[in-house]
Amino acid sequence: AQSVSQHNHHVILSEAASLELGCNYSYGGTVNLFWYVQYPGQHLQLLLKYFSGDPLVKGIKGFEAEFIKSKFSFNLRKPSVQWSDTAEYFCAVNRATGDSWGKFQFGAGTQVVVTP
């Protein structure tokens, strides 16, 4: 069963619109949280990550994400998207198991298309 859920599989929006992508995970305890992006024809690359501290994290290219522990969520946001943000976005979670880390789990991904 998928332990990391991304609510939208496909999002289409216009340039300058705001973007929010949901990510929820289904286990408690300490987690490391990541958002990765895959631009067309390119490698997956890290957008941002949360390990501890301020639950609002900022990443590259104007993206940010908020960790809400009570909701088991780590939603990605960008106030104003550009055509170049067209990509597939993946949420990933790794949870602590004892004094080490468990297996990484990725969400199914959200394909974002930004129209001019």
* Selected range binding other proteins among 15-23, 32-40, 54-62, 75-83, rule: CB under 8 A: 32-40
By CB under 8 A, residue 105 contacts other proteins: yes
Q: How far is the CB of 19 from other proteins (least distance, A)?
A: 19
- CA-nearest of 18, 9, 6, 45 to 114 is 18
Q: Which of 45, 80, 82, 115 binds other proteins (CB under 8 A)?
A: 45
* Rounded Cα–Cα distance for residues 93 and 105 (Å): 5
The strand pair at 73-78 and 19-21 is best described as antiparallel
By CB under 8 A, residue 104 contacts other proteins: yes
